Every structure is written in structure tokens, then in C-alpha cells.
Chains A and B, each alone.
Chain A
């Protein structure tokens, strides 16, 4: 293709690639930069990368975070070329889970991984990843890839010939190209999956022991080495499109653990005014520059609760694209709050980026809580639990009367209420007594109750006074 000629000079500007591609009317993803719009992606020549899908809003390429519930909250997934910042919970119990889900999703989708940590050896981190769930009962959508498999033209069935048209089921889905998988935390990922995956590890104590000859640049040596390592991998493996001979495009998933903690050599969590106060923000800016010009997505967990200087937290948030905060209930007063009885913590979606658009996908639900069950990590709306409990005590189909505290039992002192009002009454400050007023309305033939509640006004065609 003519486009290959212009790109063969090794220029790194994705702008020129896009210009060349648009003149040739090529929509194949291999020739466009990672931020190209998929507006004309309806054409079948679009080559897709395993484990990704275009966003419904603007055709942005998305990867899954490993948690389908989190994908939904983020508007479909994490956009390629952006940073997902996880603000760690206080005792760092739940944020490593999100980190592991992200990496496990990368292995299952066949993406390349880059794991950076100052605390744990990346090889050990990979050993502890959760195993993917292949159980059909957790699949939410039909697996279209199964249907597209080639059928062996072996035996022609004579009687049950319709069965010949059915696709053959996979024995075991090792590398599934479906978007978003479920994982079983109680099991470890099978060893063969790790061995077939392509991963690069950055363990700070190993890298920093070599003599450093970096010029002073106001970045701590740890960050400097990490940036050079990431840039090296992106360039050598061709994730930034600098190697056009590569046939199969792939995504690089970068995971950086506990960024900003003192183990990285940064004082930002120890003192309020430190000398290297700009080191972390500079690192994030250069990292964002690297990501925007390559096919990669990054997850960073950061102990923001340790950062003394609030201004730095605000700057870090502005420099990241998607920010999710975890707040666990351990040791906090919310542990005894009955509203949060079944949950382990709250999850706050603090920021979602507006990419290639004026607007962004934001869910209306704001009170989100997470729960760590034996096998799964789930995210739910807090009110669901509360309403469930309410319905057990005040079942719908009845009407309820509301009496204010210290008021008489005479006429006119009782207010009529439906189930919803009874729910609201619980939240109000004044104590009220709720009295069940009437029997549930007769069931109609279809089993649906037409009126949720109501006094027996029109049942007999005559108005009846309330009886006590």
C-alpha cells in the first residue's frame, strides 16, 4: 500500500500517518494512530485487535479493566492511550485486586504486559493473578466467536442434518477474544497462560542498583529509570507504530504499583514540602505523552491518602485521565452503619475523561459500594440493599398511614402513605408510626396489581370511610 511507503521513513508522528491514511481512504486500524475516530469503522476492512472494542459514543478503542461492572461505570471500558489511576484504600487490601484484574485480563486477551513495582517482584505478582472463569452461567452475552469457527466438513449427517449447522464448542477457552471476563479470586491463574503471554517486568531494586549516570532532571532516579524502560519497550516492540512490518497489532498493558510511595524514592508521602515535589507530576505528564502516541493503556495505584500536600493530589488528578477512588470501611465509623452492612467499602468514580468529544459517559448512580465475596468482587448501588430491606418490612400492595409523634389519634391526624412515602418517612427526622390500613387489593387475572396502594374507595362503587 502506498501508505506503507510514507510510514517507512520511521517518522513517529501519528498525524502524518492519519493524513496518509485518509488520502488513501484506508480504514484498516494498522495504518491509523490510536486516537483515530472509528466514525467510518462500519466498513469491514477494519482490522480489530483481540480484547478491544470501539466505544459506541465516538469510536474510541476501549480495553476492558478486567471487571465488567467497572467497565460499565467507565462508559464501556478504558480507552487506549489513557491512564487509569486507582486511589488506594487505606490498608491497601482492595486496590491490588483491581490491579490484578487488569493484568489478568491482559493475559487472557493476549495483550503484552509491563508490570512495574518497587515492592514485589513482577514474576511473583503474575503468579498470584486470579484464574478466569469459564463457567457458562457467568457469561452474560452469547459468545459470537464460537459461531465463527470453521466447521470440519467430515461426516455428513443424514437424519440429524440440522445439527451439522451448529458450531463446534470449544473444549477450553484459553485465549478468548470476548470483551471483559470474570475471574475467580480463590484460584490462581494456570501456569501455561502465564508462560504463553508476553510480559516485561520492572522491579526497582534490581534496576536501581546499577550505577546511575542520569543527568539531574528533577525526576527521582526511580521514575527516570521506569520512564526509560517503558519508552524502550514501546519503541522496541513497535507499539507506537514505528515498526510497520509488524503484522499483528497488539496492546501493551502497563501496570505500576504503589506509585508515589517512599519505596520509589519519592518523599511526597512523607513530608509536605519536599524537594522533589514536581517529580511525580512530571512523571505522569511524560507517561501520558508516551501513552497517547502508542497502543497502550496504563493502570497506576497510588496511595493518595498518604500524600500530605493536597495541592499535589489535585494536580495528579488533573494529569490522569480516569480516576477511581477506593474507600474501605475497615476501621472507619462507617463499619457500623446499617446502610453499609453487606459491603466492604465505597468506590468513587472521581474523574472520567472527555476524549475526542465535548461530553462523556457518566453514570447517574453515585453511591457505589463494593463487596468482596469468596470468588468475586462486585460493585453495587448502595440503595438497592436498603430498598430490599424496606420491602420486607413494608411490602407493597398495602397502604400505610403515617402518624406524627405526639399527635392525637383523632380525625385528620393520620396521613395516607404509600410504600414510597413510608420509605421516605424512615429517613425523616421525626418519629412516625406506620399503621397498616387495608388489605391488599384483589389480584386480577394476570397477577399484576393495578394499584400499588389505595384506600377502598372505588372497589364497591361507594366511598367507604377508613375503619380502625
Chain B
């Protein structure tokens, strides 16, 4: 969790909003620092998190999480965190066929159908249990990232259906949040990726877009973050507010500053 980003988004772990779909998007740069931020943010906010980690191994997220002040292993042992490790599960299901439906069942099929087994996994993980123990604040689904599903042969419409189902269950029914990372291919003319990105941008309440600088690589400014609030709940607030900041990623945090106001330049 980066305190500066919390200030920009005007949220705190105690007062996190519910029922929102947040879209993380990156273009020409790596936006995975946003995933680490939201993961540690929701763990600190005492929410039950289902993390679909398709890109890196669990220990990678764990190690970055430790730098940000959360321990994913303890959260997993406590039952606060449910992780689907994409890489490990893919190897399991690819080389040893399993009988019961596996969340990544589509890897074995020639024409990947839909993501229903994956949705079933998410639903089972986040179902609120009504027992006497200390309940978690709200369920959160975090996906890193959805573009990998396109690379694995799933169609963009199937991914959009999956997100729709998750939103209906997690956001609307259980008043939780959904956060997903999508890569923007930019000028690579990836039609499937554009369909997915446009569809998700339309549905989401908050869009965080990390872009590389148009002028290329810079040592002191790693990129630009555009924050777009959509669908304000109160009719009196102005619609579609947008802010742009530049950022620099450091070892344990990310510092944000207004455009052109990098400490290296001033």
C-alpha cells in the first residue's frame, strides 16, 4: 500500500468503498506495482481477498508484500487470502489430468470455451460464511492479469462474461470489490485486447492507467498515472473526474508528483 496513492485516491484502509470495479491498465510500461498496492491495501483493510495470480509465482508477491508491510503467508494461513497460483496450477493440469473441474480447465481444451470453472472457484473462495468468527469486511477479487487469459486462447467475450459474473456476485450481491489488471497493447493492433479493454473501461468505476512517458526512458520519472473516476454515485458531484500524476518507483514505495515537478528536475 503506497500512502501517497491513498491520498490521491482519497481512500484509507478503514474507509474503503464497496461495490466497485477498479480497472488497472498499463500501456508501454509495467503496471504491476498497482496490483501490489491494492493487494496490500485490501489485506490491511481486513477484507477477504481472492487473488488470481496468473503471471508470477506466489513467493514474488509475498516478498514484495513484505516490503509493503503485509505478510501473504500469514494472511493465507488465517484464511483471509485465497490464492490461485496460475503457473503452478497450469503445470499441474497440463501434465496430470484431473477428474474434478479445475479452475484452469480451459488449458486442456482445443477451443477454450468459457471461464465457468474459474468463476466457480472465485465464488467458492469469497462466499461469506455465517459462522461466529470475526467476519471480514467485504470480499475482494483481485486478478493479475486478464490479458494473459487472452494469450492462453480464451476469447475476449468469454473474459468479459467472467468479469460480468464476478461483478454481479461480488460487487452487487456481496457488496465487495473487484480489481483487475489489463495490458493495453497500444499500437500493436491487438483487436482482442482492445475489445476487452473498452468493455471493461465502460463498466468500471475507477480506472488507473499507468503509461510510459511519451519521450521514452527516464531514470527519475518512471511513468505517468492517470486516475479516472467514473459513475459517481451522488448526482451532485461532477461526472468523470480525471487526474494525472507522474511517478517514480522506489524500493519500498512509489512517489507521486505533479507533471514536470519531479524532484530530480526541480
Residues of A at under 8 Å CB distance from B? 13-15, 18-19, 33, 35-37, 58, 215-218, 227-228, 231, 278, 281-282, 285-286, 288-290, 292-293, 310-311, 313-315, 318-319, 354-359, 364, 366
Q: Flag if A314 contacts B190 (CB, 8 Å).
A: yes
Q: Flag if B110 contacts A217 (CB, 8 Å).
A: yes
Residues of B within 8 A of A292 (CB): 56-57, 87-88
Minimum Cβ distance to chain A for residue B258 (Å):
22
Which of chain B's residues has its CB closest to A282's CB?
Answer: B152
Interface residues as binary, B216-250 with A (CB distance below 8 Å gives 1, 0 otherwise): 01010000000000000000000000000000011
Stretch at the interface among B29-37, B115-123, B124-132: B29-37
Whether A33 touches B59, Cβ cut-off 8 Å, given contacts A278-B151, A318-B183, A357-B251, is: yes
Q: Flag if A358 contacts B188 (CB, 8 Å).
A: no
Which of chain B's residues has its CB closest to A218's CB?
Answer: B110
How many angstroms from the CA of A358 to the CA of B58 in the assembled complex? 15
How many angstroms from the CA of A33 to the CA of B251 in the assembled complex? 23
How many angstroms from the CA of A278 to the CA of B155 in the assembled complex? 11
How many angstroms from the CA of A215 to the CA of B192 in the assembled complex? 27
A–B Cβ pairs within 8 angstroms, 12 of them? A218-B109, A218-B112, A228-B95, A281-B152, A282-B107, A285-B90, A289-B88, A292-B87, A293-B87, A311-B192, A318-B183, A357-B63
Residues of A within 8 A of B60 (CB): 35, 355-356
Q: Flag if A356 contacts B63 (CB, 8 Å).
A: yes
Residues of B within 8 A of A290 (CB): 91
Residues of B within 8 A of A359 (CB): 249-251
Which of chain B's residues has its CB closest to A290's CB?
Answer: B91
Q: Flag if A286 contacts B151 (CB, 8 Å).
A: no
Residues of B within 8 A of A285 (CB): 87, 90, 148, 151-152
How many angstroms from the CA of A37 to the CA of B67 in the assembled complex? 12
Minimum Cβ distance to chain A for residue B235 (Å):
39
How many angstroms from the CA of A357 to the CA of B253 in the assembled complex? 11
* Cβ-defined partner of A310 (8 Å) among B188, B192, B251: B188
* Cβ-defined partner of A366 (8 Å) among B36, B148, B217: B217
For residues 39 through 86 of chain B, which have their beta carbon under 8 Å from a beta carbon of chain A?
A: 56-60, 63-64, 67, 73, 86
Whether A364 touches B88, Cβ cut-off 8 Å, given contacts A58-B63, A285-B148, A311-B189, is: no
Minimum Cβ distance to chain A for residue B115 (Å):
15
B164 close to chain A: CB less than 8 A: no
Which of chain A's residues has its CB closest to B254's CB?
Answer: A358
Which of chain B's residues has its CB closest to A15's CB?
Answer: B58
* Cβ-defined partner of A281 (8 Å) among B30, B57, B151, B254: B151
Which of chain A's residues has its CB closest to B147's CB?
Answer: A318
Residues of A within 8 A of B57 (CB): 35, 292-293
Interface size on B, residues (CB 8 A): 48
How many angstroms from the CA of A227 to the CA of B110 in the assembled complex? 16
Given contacts A217-B107, A218-B109, A282-B107, 15 further A-B contacts (CB under 8 A): A15-B58, A58-B63, A217-B109, A217-B110, A289-B88, A290-B91, A310-B190, A313-B188, A315-B147, A315-B150, A315-B190, A355-B60, A356-B63, A357-B63, A357-B67
Residues of B within 8 A of A281 (CB): 151-152
Minimum Cβ distance to chain A for residue B41 (Å):
15
B99 close to chain A: CB less than 8 A: no
Residues of B within 8 A of A19 (CB): 73
B193 close to chain A: CB less than 8 A: yes
B191 close to chain A: CB less than 8 A: yes
B111 close to chain A: CB less than 8 A: yes
B108 close to chain A: CB less than 8 A: yes
Residues of B within 8 A of A216 (CB): 110
Q: Flag if B185 contacts A314 (CB, 8 Å).
A: yes
How many angstroms from the CA of A286 to the CA of B219 in the assembled complex? 34
Residues of B within 8 A of A231 (CB): 91, 95
Minimum Cβ distance to chain B for residue A33 (Å):
7
Whether A310 touches B189, Cβ cut-off 8 Å, given contacts A218-B110, A285-B152, A289-B88, is: yes
How many angstroms from the CA of A148 to the CA of B252 in the assembled complex? 38
For residues 136 through 164 of chain B, which have their beta carbon under 8 Å from a beta carbon of chain A?
A: 147-148, 150-153
Q: Flag if A286 contacts B94 (CB, 8 Å).
A: yes
Which of chain A's residues has its CB closest to B61's CB?
Answer: A356
How many angstroms from the CA of A217 to the CA of B148 in the assembled complex? 17
